[in-house]
Amino acid sequence: MTTRVGHEFLKGIRAEDWLRVSDILEARSPHYGAFLTALDSVAPADQATVLDELADREAHTGRTYNQTSIEVLGDWGERLGRIQRNAFTGTYYPVTQAEVPGNFVYLLLAVFDDLEETAGVALRQRYLAIPKLREHLCERVGCPRMAFDDAVVAVAQQNVGRLELSGAPIDTAAKDAALGIKQITRADNNDLVSTSQSTEQVLAGVELYDKRYYYLAVHDRELSYNPAQ
């Protein structure tokens, strides 16, 4: 017989309420719960750092972990939306808020400056890849990628002439990343409840008026942002 918790778990999968599924796993799976607790303490962190923290925390339980453990637990945390992993650096971090903060434009400019500086003073980049901006800002803020996309589109619409979105050729390097983004959907198998997992390694830009943009340029730093518009 399926338990009450089992019914709730199945209900969450049928509704594709992945955060609810994650909450149940966090409460009922000691490995998954310990992984999230360890990550919350050290994030943003790479696999080795999370593994060291988890090993220290779980030393008294008799449970052991290795790199494969971290990869499996991290994949599930990412698919269920509880955590994200920077597709360029590989660092894990928890998703702590559903929307970007009100000072989004200041954070966007700060990340833009940080990434621009990595090219060197003599090689300052006017246009930066939106996928890279997305990965680093979401890591800094702890927000979902979709929230970043919505905010960037809103800022572009509210600051015409100050901020520019640019397209890219099909084979642009802006779409490439070292790591894939883990996703999960409910599989359509009639009465059989199952899921389909995928890994998307070609990163998307943002969409505005049915056009896809992959680069962003800042021409005037006096930007405004009203999330209600």
Walk me through the domains of the chain, giving residue ranges and CATH numbers: 1-96 (1.10.10.10), 97-229 (no CATH)
* 3-state DSSP assignment of residue 192: strand
Cα four-point dihedral sign 159, 216, 150, 37 = negative
Nearest-10 Cα torsion for 34, 96, 150, 157: -150
Name, in order, each residue with C-beta under 8 angstroms of 81's C-beta and a sequence gap of 6 or more: 18, 19, 22, 95, 144
pTM of this structure: 0.87
Model confidence at 195: pLDDT above 80: no
Whether 177 and 155 have beta carbons less than 8 Å apart is answered as no
Alpha carbon 191 to chain centroid, angstroms: 32
How high is the pLDDT of residue 112? 93
pLDDT in tens, 119-166: 555 555 578 889 999 999 999 999 999 999 999 999 999 999 899 998
Name, in order, each residue with C-beta under 8 angstroms of 2's C-beta and a sequence gap of 6 or more: 10
CA pair distance 141, 135, nearest whole angstrom: 10
The first and second tokens of residue 3, run together, are 């338990």
The first and second tokens of residue 61, run together, are 């339980």
